[in-house]
Structure 1
């Protein structure tokens, strides 16, 4: 059992769930939520703050500021508290209540943007507020997860190698796309070390990251209203877009097996299961999906039936067909 002196010293790196019993799909889920921040964002947050300290950007009176839909905000709240910094998270109305309360419990201030930018959506509005804030007071130091190379380097150095070590015969890796830090770090690592591995990005319908039309998105985490600046599509072999109702159904399917994962994980799992059914139907494939988060922060949304029905309609929680049933129906028809 490890003994730690700082919360960011602890992270479970080698935990995977075999999803074949739940989805009849040859997919292993790398669980990234078992740390004190509760998500994969701990890696990026730690790397970003470490780099800022090395570069002399943070002083005793500095206020760390970041735009976040939730998970990175929690990770930065935790790190700021443990290292004696103040932290301001700029979020929007899609950030769930539990996440805001958690950040505040850790000593952070939370500013919620209530009106989206006409072109850049909520993300554009959040970024505009951060820029205005930093221009008004030099004590505010923006970590800027959207362009900071420490974001993707965290996963190039840690997440990618961890998957490669555990699965030397890996065929396909599925990674969700938000800021694209996890995606680009893993994709760069495998392109350089194991180019035969297929890297599939999973994004939400309504996100503009890969050129699709902007649309409403109610579940925080994956997707973007502004194209991520660090995204380099030359490292990505394929892209899957997942409707949010399928995200919800995947989360509930996992919960029915005793696994409570977050919305970002539901999106990645849904996209991965669909891609494997369409592109690797034989089942003789070694595939891994990155699970960014756990589900406790989604109890009042994804796991609240009244919320789901209000947002996605009365049939939203009806089971979607499993891949093998889809295949059997196609063969019969």
Structure 2
């Protein structure tokens, strides 16, 4: 990417209403069989087009072909029983009924590789693809087999690495691992979480990113945020270790969050995807608000390492709101780009 301040999104974008129920996570598909395959590809094309019209530089699939950022990957693995469910605490925040790990986990076939090849055929722009991180994967399951969070994370890291290598071969330029769990389980992050993430990126030549946020704009997350006080310093726990890791890009939540911006100093030298769009609000940012967030970040990130982005995925938002937010992101980045070049 030669352009300074290249824009991108952190993850999902809303799906069209003919494909899935709008404004909800886990929305069931409205199509079946061959129609579903074609419908997903049409949605992927549409999502790409909307990113391009909005001026997004590093494009993605908008996660149009998956129901959920973690579970869709797990559904394609062996060793996890989706019929056998247990209630577990997700990220120490809310209870959920989850599938059970019943045997050794394996990846019999690629999960997103065909989708990535399809996206690659549609554009020459850089492509970013998101995968769930090992720690966030184990946090959405009941483990009746390994009986060890760390062991299961290492197994998932191996399978993620297989997928990531094939995504790279399909033409993906940046592979992002989503690790919201890094904002919760600090001891595990430092004991083995970052190491498991490095296992997942082993041997990759494309760029790699880790996305650590405070979650979608769903009630369980917004309620949790209200308990975090006037300063959110969770990044302080994981950033020093990530700064020393082999991950190329750190993606974080900035706009409308109570994250002290000087924490970005802790990953000095890394590329930083700065979340300048609030995904927990339907209020569309002004370009100037976006620019203001980026200017603050530039105190701690060199301009050639700053990637303006969204705080998190936008799947639960209305499509027009998400679209307008993407336009605001591009316009805000353009303001700051102009200031830097003058």
TM-score range for the pair, normalised by the shorter chain length: 0.3 to 0.5
Q: TM-score scaled to structure 2, two decimals?
A: 0.39
